[in-house]
Amino acid sequence: MNNLEVTSRILNTLKSLSKDNRTPRRYVLKVAQEKAKFLIGQKLGESSLYREQNLYSTLECMEMEKADLIKCPIIEFRSCKQLMRSKKQLPELIHSKYGASVKEVTSLDGEFLLLPITPYQYRLNKQRKDGLKGENFFYIKDNYLYIPELEVKMVQVVLITQDLYDLEECSECKDNSCKSVWDYEFICSDKLLEVVLQETLKEVSMTKQIQADQNPNLNEGT
């Protein structure tokens, strides 16, 4: 179900409940996405969504560049021999107690699989006798992807995001076809979709009711 279908379903229900059909479609989409993001974040924290492949999108070509070690906002990475940072920010991610909704990061040829790590874990690993030998890691801060101790120009990222338009904009090998925001899939678990729709309808209806109460002379027929 794409964004247009989701918002149309909610707006059609609203029209059956009220003559007032002036609810902005973009507002409805924003509310629905926020509801879905909250519920997906909860389920990711329970580790119950990782098998739902329809939730995941692939950022095919994320370009990386050398980061300034002195200015790096991550203190633990300032001692790296080399540090790569994505040229562009990742699209908005969903966060849970396990971190950002990035499933995996790999080199384009599949030679390297990068594992998520926190700065604290990175510092502890460097203090180990065998150091970081044979292991590659990534970390996300301010929606930038950081890769310590590995020079790689381009990576592939598998993640969950509702901003599929921004996802394509991040990619250096993006599809240049002109797609509207309404053409993109609405990212939500199938088992959560009905709850999202009902919760969105409830919030939008409540907002409309508050507006009506604040404007008692409002003629819904106009």
- CA separation for the pair 12, 6 (Å, rounded): 10
Q: What is the pLDDT along the chain (222 residues), one digit of tens a residue?
A: 999 999 999 999 988 776 666 789 999 999 999 999 999 999 988 877 777 888 999 998 999 999 999 999 999 999 888 999 999 999 999 998 888 999 899 999 888 899 899 999 888 888 775 555 668 899 999 999 999 999 999 999 999 999 988 888 888 776 656 788 899 999 999 999 999 999 999 999 888 776 655 665 555 443
Task: Determine how many CB atoms are found less than 10 A away from the CB of residue 195.
Answer: 14
- CA separation for the pair 98, 96 (Å, rounded): 5
Q: Which two tokens stand for residue 53?
A: 């492949």
Residue located via tokens 């409830």: 202
DSSP for 33-44 reads HHHHHHHHHHHH
Using DSSP's 3-state secondary structure scheme, residue 199 falls into helix
Task: Determine how many CB atoms are found less than 10 A away from the CB of residue 179.
Answer: 12
Predicted pLDDT at 24: 92
Q: Which two tokens stand for residue 191?
A: 């088992």
Task: Determine how many CB atoms are found less than 10 A away from the CB of residue 9.
Answer: 16
Residue located via tokens 């990212």: 187
- CA separation for the pair 65, 174 (Å, rounded): 19
Using DSSP's 3-state secondary structure scheme, residue 137 falls into strand
By DSSP bridging, strand 144-148 and strand 137-141 are antiparallel
Predicted pLDDT at 51: 76
- CA separation for the pair 105, 137 (Å, rounded): 9
- CA separation for the pair 212, 206 (Å, rounded): 10
Q: Please give the model's pTM, rounded to 2 decimal places.
A: 0.82
Count of positions (residues) in the chain: 222
- CA separation for the pair 39, 3 (Å, rounded): 17
Residue 150 makes CB contacts below 8 A (sequence gap 6+) with 82, 84, 112, 114, 136
- CA separation for the pair 161, 57 (Å, rounded): 7
- CA separation for the pair 126, 121 (Å, rounded): 9
